[in-house]
Structure 1
Amino acid sequence: MGWNTSVLFRQGITADEAVDDLAITEFSGETVEAEQATSALKPDALYAAESGGWAQVWNPMMDLVMGWEPTDTATALIAFFSSVSSTYGFSLFTDGERTRHFVYAEGEIVEDEGTPLASEAGIEVPSWGPDENYIWAVITAVTGLTYDESLQYRVYPVG
């Protein structure tokens, strides 16, 4: 599957609180499976769920999540995947401050700020560079979560 989406993981809050933090508050009453929530099949919505002490908000349009900044002492991770343009990256926030930011695009590291995570050294990087597997390995290292196809996501229409 080609990933073209972004996600915000927030520790210790509910999915509704994470969506509220993005200024979207209307839950549609609909839930969807992980495949729809993590893809661009219906890009005009946010998809939120909770798992393992983390709220996750998927944003297929990559506009709301990518602009998120903490307003508190949040522990959060933003990750994005754009397999169409071979662009992948993440930002880690610890105690409300961005402590790590990494972006790889079309064969080059274009942004590399903060101290690399210890887990980054152990992630296998394919010959073509970091990809969705690399980003998922970072997500798992930070949150303890993996892709869970059985997770149900609440739908929050945007626009």
Structure 2
Amino acid sequence: MGWNTSVLFVKGVTADEAVDDLAITEFSGELVEADRATSALKPDALYAADPAGWAQVWNPRMDVVMGWEPTGPVDALVVFFSSVSSTYGFSLFTGGERTRHYVYAEGAVVEDEGTPLPVEAEVALPSWGPDEDFLWSIITAVTSLRYDGNVRYRVYPV
């Protein structure tokens, strides 16, 4: 099964603050497991948690997180996975400025701005190009986070 979702990581804020920045403020009161939050099983919600100093907001429909821009001097990472269309990408913001942006779609690099991160040269890519493992390497290098099935996510209907 491939990943088809997007996620925003913001350093030093709570899950509620990260969602508020997306103009979504109504926490439903529901908590869900990581596999539900990171998948498209219920795409009409955002899923947020804040383990280890990085808020993360998962957006399975990929319509809210993708256009996110910082409003202040924050460190953040926006990542999107679309295995259906073989499209993968990320934008890294350092101190509120976009310092790296990379998009790979259907066999070709379509956007490549900023200095590549050291981890990009370290990841062994499959013959078809960047994939979920590549993006998780980026996520881990930037945030020190790995996929954790034990994290519980707050549900914010959209």
TM range (shorter): over 0.9
Q: What is the aligned partner in structure 1 of residue 71 from structure 2?
A: 71
Whether 1:102 aligns to 2:120 is: no
Write the distance in 1 (CA, Å) between the matches of 2:86 and 2:20. Answer: 31
Q: Determine helix, strand or coil for the equivalent of 1:140.
A: helix
Write the distance in 1 (CA, Å) between the matches of 2:149 and 2:110. Answer: 31
Write the distance in 2 (CA, Å) between the matches of 1:48 and 1:124. Answer: 30
Q: What is the aligned partner in structure 2 of residue 44 from structure 1?
A: 44
Q: What is the aligned partner in structure 1 of residue 130 from structure 2?
A: 130
Write the distance in 2 (CA, Å) between the matches of 1:126 and 1:50. Answer: 31
Q: Determine helix, strand or coil for the equivalent of 2:130.
A: coil
Q: TM-score, normalised by structure 2?
A: 0.99
Q: State the shift of 1:95 in Å.
A: 0.5
Q: What is the aligned partner in structure 2 of residue 56 from structure 1?
A: 56
Q: State the shift of 1:119 in Å.
A: 1.3
Q: Which runs of 5+ in 2 are unaligned?
A: none
Instruction: Report sequence identity in percent.
Output: 76
Q: State the shift of 1:118 in Å.
A: 1.1
Give the residue type in structure 1 aligned to 2:111: E
Whether 1:119 aligns to 2:126 is: no
Give the residue type in structure 1 aligned to 2:52: G
Q: Determine helix, strand or coil for the equivalent of 1:66.
A: helix
Q: Deviations over 1:103-148 (max 9, x none)?
A: 0000000000000011111011111100000000000000000000
Whether 1:8 aligns to 2:1 is: no
Q: State the shift of 1:51 in Å.
A: 1.0
Q: Which runs of 5+ in 1 are unaligned?
A: none
Give the residue type in structure 1 aligned to 2:18: A
Give the residue type in structure 1 aligned to 2:110: V
Q: Determine helix, strand or coil for the equivalent of 1:103.
A: strand
**Structure 1: 4+ residue segments shifted above 3 A:** none
Write the distance in 1 (CA, Å) between the matches of 2:2 and 2:87. Answer: 12
Give the residue type in structure 2 aligned to 1:91: S
Q: State the shift of 1:52 in Å.
A: 1.1
Q: Deviations over 1:29-86 (max 9, x none)?
A: 0000000000000000000001111000000110110010000001000000000000
Q: TM-score, normalised by structure 1?
A: 0.99
Write the distance in 2 (CA, Å) between the matches of 1:6 and 1:94. Answer: 19
Write the distance in 1 (CA, Å) between the matches of 2:52 and 2:85. Answer: 31
**Pairwise CA RMSD of aligned residues?**
0.5
Aligned length: 158
